[in-house]
Amino acid sequence: MYGVVEIGGHQYKVKAGDLIDVQKLTEEAGNTVDFDKVLFVGGDKAVVGTPTVAGAKVTAKVIKHDCSKKIIIFKRKPGAYKKKNGHRQPYTALLITELADGQGNTDKIDTKSDTAKKYLTK
């Protein structure tokens, strides 16, 4: 089962066990976060929300807060000026632990997977 969830104004296709990077959230690392804005749930029986699926929920664990790779911006006009600037976008890494479709079906992360062993045992 997979779902499309809206987090911070962006839409992400997620399933249990996925590790995704989203815009920085205010939650602390190690906490669990629930997202109720589930737009679509796919699997054996697809459920499309109008605009969201009633009762559907995505649960994730905050892994870490970090900044992405630095992007260098260089502007130049011959004989006029040169300007070099850089930017690092902050993000939050999330591990999707559970996906509920609102009809009683849930999909949880496999506790024997490598990502679960790495991030959930701490």
Beta carbons within 10 angstroms of residue 47's beta carbon:
19
DSSP letter at 102? S
pLDDT for the residue numbered 33: 96
For the entire predicted model, the pTM comes to 0.84
Q: What is the mean pLDDT of residues 17-45?
A: 93
Give the residues across from 74 on adjacent strands. Answer: 84
At 71-115, the pLDDT tens digits run 999 999 998 899 999 999 999 999 999 999 888 889 999 988 888
